[in-house]
């Protein structure tokens, strides 16, 4: 019995570690999607970001608590036919998938999961800000070797089995797997949409303006980031993909222990 208790404790610890959030200080940085013509820097307020992407095991616990998000019950307006199709059953992923990042989930499902934790999906600028950090620098985008390692991910066969979360080194903030594992949903997905309707060229939505010029950006060397923009721009909120996962975020730093927000 002692052995089983020890195993259970290890499983619980792994689950707790997977959901830990990291405090990011925020600041100003040069985005590949400038907020407006002639403005190259954006300001990001301090925020929290999950250290790792959400796993199949974590999402399965959510589905058990919120059965309307089961594969056999989810409304098609909220998820397409591919939703959780890789799971072994309607409510369970199968033991082999437990520590892999959950994929085949829609934006709606990812948002509902984060909301159940009192969190939300990160915005594009928050995600880009965190993902600009290398293992040693808060902005490693000018390091050719680091960029090459990120781009190397794209050479992995699309049908290769996903690694478990935590497979990549932590960046300077302590966040892992922002590169090299899965694409990730963002909160402001709708702002990434690109319209081909010329009548909308004066649309005040800045991200839509920037998205329409995404492939002619100044920062062409940040190819990996441009690929993510192209992927997100192609998605709708009900779509699912075998390479699209997510992690959660929240406003501001965590309150001190014992203090509720």
Residue 214 φ/ψ, nearest 5 degrees: -60, -35
What's the whole-number average pLDDT of the chain? Answer: 82
Q: Tell whether 155 is covered by a domain.
A: yes
Q: Tell whether 257 is covered by a domain.
A: no
Dist. CA 209–CA 214, nearest whole Å = 9
Pick 152 or 168 by higher pLDDT.
168
147-172 mean pLDDT? 83
Answer for the pair 233, 214: CB distance below 8 angstroms, yes or no.
yes
Q: Tell whether 260 is covered by a domain.
A: no
Q: How does DSSP assign 128-190, residue by residue?
A: HHHHT--SS-S--TT-HHHHHHHHHGGGS-TTSPPPPTT-S---TTS---TTTT-EE--TTGG
Q: Tell whether 258 is covered by a domain.
A: no
Dist. CA 183–CA 52, nearest whole Å = 13
Domain CATH code at residue 101: 3.90.1580
Lowest-pLDDT range, 19-28, 123-132, 153-162?
A: 153-162
User: Domain range for residue 233?
Assistant: 2-251
pTM summary value: 0.82
Q: Tell whether 73 is covered by a domain.
A: yes
For 34-53, the pLDDT digits (tens) are 888 888 899 999 999 999 99
Structural domains of the chain, count: 1
Q: Tell whether 50 is covered by a domain.
A: yes
Residues 6 or more apart whose CB falls under 8 angstroms from that of 63 comprise 69, 70, 91
Q: Tell whether 261 is covered by a domain.
A: no
Q: Tell whether 256 is covered by a domain.
A: no
Residue 128 pLDDT greater than 50, yes or no = yes
Element (H, E) at 210: helix 206-212
Radius of gyration of the chain from its Cα atoms, rounded to whole angstroms: 19
């Amino acid at each position: 019995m002692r052995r089983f208790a020890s195993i259970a404790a290890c499983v619980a610890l792994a689950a707790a570690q997977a959901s830990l959030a990291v405090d990011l200080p925020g600041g100003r940085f040069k985005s590949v999607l400038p907020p407006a013509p002639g403005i190259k820097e954006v300001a990001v307020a301090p925020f929290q970001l999950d250290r790792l992407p959400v796993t199949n095991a974590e999402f399965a616990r959510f589905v058990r608590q919120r059965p309307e998000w089961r594969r056999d019950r989810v409304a098609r307006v909220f998820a397409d036919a591919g939703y959780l199709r890789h799971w072994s059953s309607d409510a369970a992923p199968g033991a082999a998938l437990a520590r892999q990042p959950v994929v085949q989930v829609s934006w709606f499902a990812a948002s509902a999961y984060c909301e159940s934790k009192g969190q939300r999906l990160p915005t594009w600028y928050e995600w880009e800000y965190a993902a600009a950090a290398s293992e040693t620098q808060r902005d490693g985008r000018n390091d050719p070797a680091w960029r090459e390692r990120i781009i190397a991910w794209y050479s992995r066969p699309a049908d290769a089995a996903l690694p478990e979360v935590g497979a990549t080194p932590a960046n300077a903030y302590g966040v892992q797997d922002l590169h090299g594992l899965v694409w990730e949903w963002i909160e402001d997905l709708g702002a990434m949409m690109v319209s081909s309707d010329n009548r909308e060229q004066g649309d005040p939505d800045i991200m839509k303006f920037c998205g329409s010029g995404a492939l002619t950006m100044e920062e062409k060397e940040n190819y990996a980031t441009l690929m993510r923009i192209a992927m997100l721009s192609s998605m709708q909120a009900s779509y699912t993909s075998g390479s699209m996962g997510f992690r959660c975020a929240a406003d501001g730093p965590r309150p001190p222990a014992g203090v509720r927000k």
